[in-house]
Amino acid sequence: MVWCDMMAIHKDAPHPENALRFIDFILRPEIVIRPDFARAAELGIAHVLQGVEHKAEGFARLLSATGLQAAQTAYMGDDLLDLPVFVRVGLAGAPADSTAEVLHHAHWVSRFPGGRGAVREFVELLLTAQGRWNAIVDSFLV
């Protein structure tokens, strides 16, 4: 299982304060944007958690739902809020521009910053280690 936090504002965003206001807005209980579960299912994503305040709690829920052990999981994160999960997973990955504390605890660090290919590189690493990457690439060549 791979878990990534996908709500982010790029470091070079021209108006990060507006992005923060928008994130605050869409996370309000009366507004919260629901994930597209049909698209998630199409992509083979079985579990979508939203609005989890404490990531360790969400991680525990995922472990319970999947029956996996923490050592069987991978997680990518870039900030202090990710550390409670980082210290529990089998493989903790971080984008190149993560905080110093996250980089210190990461098992693997991407060559790329967040929002610039770090998650893709992490997924490719995992699929290559599982011996599945070449078949995926080949599927695009037919």
Q: In this predicted structure, what is the pLDDT of residue 94?
A: 95
**Cα pseudo-dihedral 71, 74, 77, 81, rounded to 10:** -30
Residues 5-50 have pLDDT tens digits of 555 556 666 776 766 666 666 556 555 555 556 666 776 777 777 6
Residues 91-121 have pLDDT tens digits of 999 999 999 999 999 999 999 988 888 888 9
Residues 53-82 have pLDDT tens digits of 788 988 898 899 889 899 999 999 999 989
User: With a threshold of 0.75, does the pTM exceed it?
Assistant: no
The tally of CA atoms less than 13 A away on the side-chain side of residue 115 is: 9
- Quote the distance between the C-alpha of residue 47 and its chain's center: 13
Distance CA 83, CA 110 (A): 17
Residue 128 or 115, more confident: 128
Q: In this predicted structure, what is the pLDDT of residue 93?
A: 95
- Residues near 98 by beta carbon (within 8 Å), at least 6 away in sequence: 77, 78, 79, 106, 109, 114
- Kindly report the three-state secondary structure assignment for every residue of 63-88: HHHHCCCHHHCEEECCCHHHHHHHCC
Residue 25 or 126, more confident: 126
Q: In this predicted structure, what is the pLDDT of residue 31?
A: 52
- List the end-to-end C-alpha distance of the chain, in Å, as a whole number: 28
Whether the pLDDT of residue 130 is over 60: the answer is yes
